[in-house]
Amino acid sequence: MMQVRVWLAGVLFVAAFGVVSAASYSFVLGDTPEQAAVKMVADAVKSGKADVIKKAVADADKKFADPSELMHMYRPRNKAGMGWGPNAGKNPAADGLEKKIQEFAKGVPPNIANDVANNVEAGRWMTALAELTLAKVPAKNMGGGKTIKAWTDWSNELKETSVAFTKAAEAKNGANMAKAASKMNSLCINCHSKFKE
């Protein structure tokens, strides 16, 4: 009887381990499903293959019921946002995409420009979010300038600018990072002035 119990405990342990192993690697490490979805699209963006990006966006889009949930990803890491790159910053209040875009729009010090790993990954996350924003284009034009064209144009510009930011980050070019961040900040302000409720 004791052998049966030991054997059963072993089987249950292996089964439980299999379930955990089958879970999303990102989620096991603490990502929310939404954060993991953005990172999945960012990985596709890194591949540079349009078909891979398209499929990742279609899969990830299901995690976001509406555009406001995408905007939450710009919040600091401790507020369930993406944070700034894979390594958490020392100041939790500033460790978010929106906060860093605003900060970098004023200039990027050399020591910050040298943080290639965080800056490049954050750039890819912003490109992923732009791709996902494009997937949330309104079904029809609305009043007050809330048009399909405006949404698409701003989202495409955000995508192009985040790609430019990523390239500048790879080159440790603080001036170009700041230029891209400034443009992204303006795009966000302009888009929110029309579409944010």
Q: What is the DSSP string of 130-178?
A: HHHHHTT--SS--STT--HHHHHHHHHHHHHHHHHHHHHHHTT-HHHHH
Cβ contact 42:56 at 8 Å:
no
pLDDT, one tens digit per residue, over 21-54 is 333 333 334 799 999 999 999 999 999 999 999 9
Average pLDDT along the chain: 84
Average pLDDT over every residue of 144-163:
90
Whole-model pTM? 0.81
3-state secondary structure (DSSP) of residue 106: coil
Q: What ranges do the domains of the chain cover?
A: 1-30, 31-195
pLDDT, one tens digit per residue, over 119-147 is 999 999 999 999 999 999 888 988 877 88
